[in-house]
Amino acid sequence: MIDISTVPVREFVEANTTRLISTAYIDEPALAPLVDDDNELTFLEELEGLSSSRRGLPEFIPAGVQPDELVNAHHGYGWTYINAAFCYTRETGNRFNGPARGAWYATWDDNRIDTAHAEVAWHLTQELHATGIYENITSFCELTASFATIFHDLTGCAGEDVFHPEPDIGYSKGQGLAAELFSRGANGVLYPSVRQAGGHCLAAFRPNIIQNVRQGEIWTFTWAGDPKPLIEKASSRQGG
């Protein structure tokens, strides 16, 4: 069991962290055809936000999220993706969030892309396990985001139950730890990847600490009869 009082608190400044989301949820910004670059897009989105500051609120806001926590167009491109991460949750939650409140999960450090691939591939493969049929093609887009904040660093706790590879064990422990940290004002946690040896992950607990979201590469995950997918770069997305 992790004693929160012994967990180091670390200043985390990182320009490039990676989160993968299905391309089914990626839309080109509505104002993109009117601009020539990202700076102009951000400026126009902020102007639009002046007259509709709550535009784009998720249709469903779970009990654990206060509407005034959510970000709007003033936050810059990607604000709807940020809100979605906190409002649309799995019934069982994830490693560091329960069903009543989501979190922004991402990978970081030099091998962040490989770590993101491993994390996403593991979760999708578990869904295919239920059918016993490993036939699927899904594309994911990188969302790159920046942070300059304070996180609790769980790197030294790799052997604890919160990092048990089986969700039935690890998730309940991690959710309890995250709830206690959140109640004490924590912004999130840095932790070792469970699915990629040497990988580094983060879970951000608060929407407003996620900055400078932009789109990156698109990757296609293909299962063709085998539990291990083929992962290929499909294309780049510009202007996010």
pLDDT 10s digits, 206-236 = 999 999 999 999 999 999 999 999 999 986 5
- Residue 21 CA to residue 143 CA, distance in Å, equals 7
- Residue of higher predicted confidence among 159 and 113: 113
Using pLDDT thresholds of 50, 70 and 90, give the confidence band for residue 42: low
- pLDDT confidence of residue 25: 77
- pLDDT confidence of residue 52: 43
- pLDDT confidence of residue 37: 61
State which H helix or E strand residue 149 sits in: strand 135-153
- Residue 171 CA to residue 94 CA, distance in Å, equals 6
Three-state DSSP class for residue 110: coil
- pLDDT confidence of residue 27: 61
Instruction: Count structural domains, the chain.
Output: 1
Question: Judging by beta carbons within 10 Å of its beta carbon (0-12, 13-18, 19+), is residue 3 exposed, middle or buried?
Answer: exposed
Determine contact, residues 144/13, Cβ cutoff 8 Å: no
Q: What is the rounded average pLDDT of the residues 183-193? A: 98
Determine contact, residues 56/27, Cβ cutoff 8 Å: no
- pLDDT confidence of residue 76: 87
Determine contact, residues 211/144, Cβ cutoff 8 Å: no
The residue range of the domain holding 193 is 4-236
State which H helix or E strand residue 4 sits in: none
pLDDT 10s digits, 70-97 = 999 888 889 999 999 999 999 999 999 9
- pLDDT confidence of residue 39: 60
Determine contact, residues 143/215, Cβ cutoff 8 Å: yes
- Beta pairing, strands 104-108 & 200-204: antiparallel
- pLDDT confidence of residue 235: 62
CB proximity list for 142: less than 8 A, separation 6 or greater: 18, 19, 20, 113, 116, 215, 216, 217, 218, 219
